[in-house]
Amino acid sequence: MRVEVKTFATLREITGGLIHYIDVSEGSTLRDVLEELFRRYPSLRDEILDENGDLKTGYRLLVNGREALHIGGLDIEVREGDVIALFPPIAGG
């Protein structure tokens, strides 16, 4: 099964591009998708996860446009064709 992962801003610099296609098995979770992404880009893990394995404050992870933390967190099941978007903290002035 294939899902699409989009990275933005500084995360795009780490991963080398905007769109990544991740192949995972049926029954996989959002955490499984991230683990595959971390295998490809090891420095991404420390960038977005804290020491407990949770998303660091300020980072946003959306699944099909919905905030992952509001629909079950990193342990939600992903499905074929899901689009996952990962945003770093945004600052401005």
How does pLDDT run across 10-27, given as a tens digit for each residue? 999 999 999 999 999 999
Res. 92 pLDDT band, cuts 50 70 90: low
pLDDT at 93: 60
pLDDT at 40: 95
pTM of the model: 0.91
Residue type, 50: D
Domains of the chain: 2-87 (3.10.20.30)
pLDDT above 90: percentage of residues in the chain: 95
pLDDT above 70: percentage of residues in the chain: 98
pLDDT at 28 > cutoff 90: yes
